[in-house]
Amino acid sequence: MLKYLSGIVLFFLAVACSHAQNAGYLSAKEFADKIKNAKGAQVVDVRTPGEFKTGHIQNASNIALQSPEFTDMASALDPSKPVFVYCLSGGRSASAVKRLKAMGFKEIYEMPGGMMEWRSQNLPEVKLTVASEGMSLKDYQAMLQSGKTVLVDFYAEWCAPCKKMKPFLDKISTEMAGKVTFIRIDADQNSRLCKEMGVAALPVLKVYRDGKETWNHTGFADEETLRAQLGK
């Protein structure tokens, strides 16, 4: 009986720990509400200065993850107050959270969906520059009418899975050029289109036939899976 009860206690402790570990991950709306209600909220945008200027959350500080001054700039934050971290779609913010934890920060909240999710929810942002929003939905739809199967790749230069897929995507686009139109769309340069298409994470792959979407995949896809979809 004691052994049985001990097992139950361990189970509930494990569940409690799991919930505690996940407590810092918030959706865009939860992130916005938490910032509004938190005392002394410190909002940190870890994207590049260029990305920051084209749109960021109000009162956010730009502490670029890739900057050699990241640690020095982060040290200026108050470790006794909550820190809210985000990037474009979660990759860089996850790395930033690890570094902040190593620096001793305890109360950290992350928005894994990043600015892509924030924009998809029509939440407010501050823009320091007026940037081109890139391709329109009408332009996008026109490209699908090529008479061939169309493969669309929504990517970003900083996206690790995107970089991993690029070599075999390039190979496939060359080998199947006669029957497949390959379109790559930089999410950073086409924020309006991403919002309209519901692209809230990267990479996103889409296959169209006769202008109709036949396959939609978010995240890394291996070469075999992609060839199978294009070969149908």
Q: What is the pLDDT of residue 114?
A: 94
Average pLDDT on 18-38 reads 79
Q: For residue 57, with 0-12 CB atoms within 10 Å meaning exposed, 13-18 middle and 19 or more buried, which class applies? A: buried
Catalytic site residue from 17, 87, 162, 194: 162
Q: Is the pLDDT of residue 19 over 90?
A: no
**Predicted TM-score of the model (pTM):** 0.65
**130 pLDDT above the threshold of 60:** no
User: Who has greater pLDDT, 21 or 63?
Assistant: 63
Dihedral sign for Cα atoms in the order 73, 27, 92, 88: negative
* pLDDT for the residue 24: 87
Mean pLDDT of 68-84: 95
Amino acid at 63: I
For residue 132, what pLDDT is reported?
A: 62
pLDDT averaged over every residue in the chain: 87
The yes-or-no answer on residue 194 being catalytic is no
Tell me the mean pLDDT in the region 62-75.
Answer: 94
From the candidates 17, 87, 159, 194, give the one annotated as an active-site residue: 159
Longest dimension (CA), the chain: 70
What digits encode the pLDDT tens for the residues 95-116? 999 999 999 999 999 999 999 9
Most confident of 11-25, 152-166, 213-227: 213-227
Q: What is the pLDDT of residue 167?
A: 94
Catalytic residue check, 17 = no
Q: What's the pLDDT score for residue 146?
A: 83
b vs e for 150-183, b when ≥16 Cβ sit within 10 Å of the residue's Cβ?
A: bbbbbbbebbebbeebeeebeebbeebeeebbbb
The pLDDT tens digits for 142-184 are 999 888 999 999 998 888 899 999 999 999 998 998 899 999 9
Question: What confidence score (pLDDT) does residue 12 get?
Answer: 38
Integer distance in angstroms from the first to the last C-alpha of the chain?
A: 58
Backbone angles phi, psi at 51, to 5 degrees: -65, -40
For residue 5, the model assigns a pLDDT of 43
Measured between alpha carbons, how far is 134 from 185 in angstroms, rounded to an integer? 10
User: How many angstroms separate the CA atoms of 171 and 223, rounded?
Assistant: 10
